[in-house]
Amino acid sequence: MNVFDRAYDDPVRVLDEDGTVVGEVPDLVDDELVELYRYMKLARHFDGRAVSLQRQGRMGTYPPLSGQEGAQIGSAFALGDDDWIVPSYREHGAALVRGVPLKQTLLYWMGHVDGNRAPDDANVFPVAVPIASQVPHATGAAWASTLRGEDDAFVCYFGDGATSEGDFHEGVNFAGVFDTPTVFFCNNNQWAISVPRERQTRSATLAQKAEAYGIDGVQVDGMDPLAVYAVTKAAVEKARDPDADRPRPTLIEAIQYRFGAHTTADDPTVYRDEGEVETWKRKDPIPRLERYLRAEGVLDDERVAEIEAGVKTQVADAIDEAESVPRPGPRDLFEHAYAELPPELRAQYESFAATREEHGDAAFLEE
C-alpha cells in the first residue's frame, strides 16, 4: 500500500463502518488480528472502569479514550521492538501494547510519582500533560538516535489542538530539516476540550501541514484499526530507512472521535450535540473490526466471550494491585517540582506540616 501518494483529504481505509473490506488488508495472521481485537476490548473496558473509579473518588482526574482504540492499538501494533512512543496523556492503550501495565497507568492517575516510570524494557516516554510539549522531545530523541547510528523510529502522539501550539511547529520543522526518524501521529478527535476542529486552523486538513515542512503527510480513518496499522507501518519503515527516497518524518492525521469527556473534569454536553456523538458511535472501531473477523471465520461467540471474560479479570486484578499500593503522602505535593523549594512553598509546607503534627501525624516530616 503506497500511502504517501494520496491527496491529503483522501483518508486511507481498509474497512468501512460495517466491517466490509474496501481497501488493501494488511499482512496480519489470524492470531495477530485476534490480539489486536483483544487489546481494543481491554482498553475499552479499562476505560469504563477508570471513569467509574474517578467518580467513586478512588482516583484523580482521568482522560477517557473510548472511541480512539483503533488509532492507539492499530498504530502501536505497527512498531518494532526497539521503536519508541512519545505519548500525550490519553495513550493508555498504546502504552499498554508497548509494555506499560494497567496498574502503572492507574497509579499515575491516582497521584503516585512511580506511575510515570515505565518498565525498563518498555520504550515509552513519560506522560505529557502540557499540550504539544512532547513534540520537540520526540524530534530531539529521534535525532539523538540517528547520531548514535541506531535505526529506531519514534512515534509521537498528540491531539488536533496541539497543532495550534508553537511546540508542534518547531518540532515538525526541526524534524524536516534534520530528516529525523519521527512519525507525528495526530489524533484528530474533532474537539480540543471544547474547541472544535474548525476553530483550530483554516487548513482543509491537518495532514497537509506537512507540506510546509517538506515531509510526507497522510490522512487515515482513525476508527479503522487495520488502516491505521497499515499507514503507521509504512511510516515507521520509512523512518528507519536512512536511504529512503523521500524525507523520513511523516505526519499522520487519524480522523476519529472521543465518545466521552475530554477528562472527567469536563462536561461535553455543554458544547457537543448528542446527535453528533451518536453519528460517530456508528463508526465505533471495535464492532467494525469484530464484524470483519467474524465474517472471516476468525472470531465466533465463544471466542468473544472468552476474550471478554479475560479482559474483565485482567482489569479487576490491575485495580486491586494499584489500590494495594499505599497512597502518596502529603509531602509528595512538594516534591519533584524544584531542586530546592522556593521560600513561599517551603513556608506553605512548614505550615501544613505543623497542622498535621498537631493532629498527631508527623510521619511524613522527613528532612
Taking the CB of residue 261, how many other CB atoms lie within 10 A of it? Answer: 18
Angle between helices 285-295 and 30-55 (to 10 degrees): 150
- Told to judge if 271 belongs to the known catalytic residues of this protein, a careful annotator would answer yes
Cell of residue 188, nine digits: 484528530
Residue of 125, 124, 67 whose CA lies nearest to 255? 67
Asked if 186 and 192 touch (Cβ cutoff 8 Å), the reply is no
CA quadruple 195, 196, 199, 204: dihedral sign: positive
Rounded Cα distance between 79 and 229, Å, is: 9
Rounded Cα distance between 154 and 59, Å, is: 31
- Told to judge if 336 belongs to the known catalytic residues of this protein, a careful annotator would answer no
Q: Are strands 182-188 and 216-221 parallel, antiparallel or unpaired?
A: unpaired
Rounded Cα distance between 92 and 69, Å, is: 9
First to last CA, the chain: 60
Active-site annotation holder among 55, 199, 271, 338: 271
Active-site annotation holder among 38, 49, 248, 258: 258
Q: Using the structure block, give the residue that is written with the C-alpha cell 474547541.
A: 195
Three-class SS of residue 206? coil
Rounded Cα distance between 152 and 235, Å, is: 12
Active-site annotation holder among 49, 90, 262, 272: 262
Rounded Cα distance between 173 and 166, Å, is: 11
Asked if 75 and 155 touch (Cβ cutoff 8 Å), the reply is yes
Rounded Cα distance between 25 and 15, Å, is: 8
78 by Cβ neighbours in 10 Å (0-12 / 13-18 / 19+) ranks as buried
- Told to judge if 39 belongs to the known catalytic residues of this protein, a careful annotator would answer no
Residue of 138, 136, 146, 141 whose CA lies nearest to 241? 146
Residues annotated as catalytic (active site), given as ranges = 258, 262, 271
